[in-house]
Amino acid sequence: MGSPLLNPYQKNSIQTTLRRLERSLRIILSALTQAQNGVLQKFDDDLEANKKEALKQGITPMLDLIQLLSVRFELIPEPQSLRQTIASLLSSSMAELADIRTASLTRYGQVERKRKSIMVTVPAKPRSRLKTI
């Protein structure tokens, strides 16, 4: 097909940027179409229905553009291991949980003795289950 349109560094830059954009667009689309509320995370549904619809309709052409550019610049999707992605997310979350243990909280001030017994720890059983991933 002749000489490539982009050198490898340019191609990598475009591919990385488009991959991040696609991820963001898909997260936005998911947030617009599914309830995203959890225990400590809550989104106020402060978008009117017509604005939600406009956003959804605006995302489709952007995803189409990503597809078009991927073909034009011969970008190849890089497979990502679902197992490794989940393990990475859980690993960093488990590390962050260590910061809410009594010993770590003392850097923000003294933890009352009677409160120490009720501080949150990640139970061993779920932790070991998560390690199997």
Q: Domain map of the chain by residue range?
A: 1-78, 80-133
pLDDT at 53: 93
CA distance 35 to 94: 25
pLDDT at 110: 82
If phi > 0 it is left, if psi is from -120 to 50 it is alpha, else beta; for residue 74 that is left
pLDDT at 69: 95
pTM of the model: 0.69
pLDDT at 128: 66
pLDDT at 126: 62
pLDDT at 91: 81
Distances (CA, A) of 121 to 53, 100, 102, 106, 112: 42, 8, 9, 15, 16
Q: How many CA atoms lie within 13 A of 84 on its CB side?
A: 3
Q: How many CA atoms lie within 13 A of 39 on its CB side?
A: 0
pLDDT in tens, the chain (133 residues): 555 788 999 999 999 999 999 999 998 998 888 877 788 888 888 899 999 999 999 999 999 999 999 999 999 898 989 988 888 888 887 777 767 776 777 788 887 776 655 555 555 556 666 666 6
Contact 73, 11 (CB under 8 A): yes
pLDDT at 33: 86
Least Cα distance to 78 among 26, 7, 12, 3 occurs for: 12
Amino acid at 34: Q
pLDDT at 56: 92
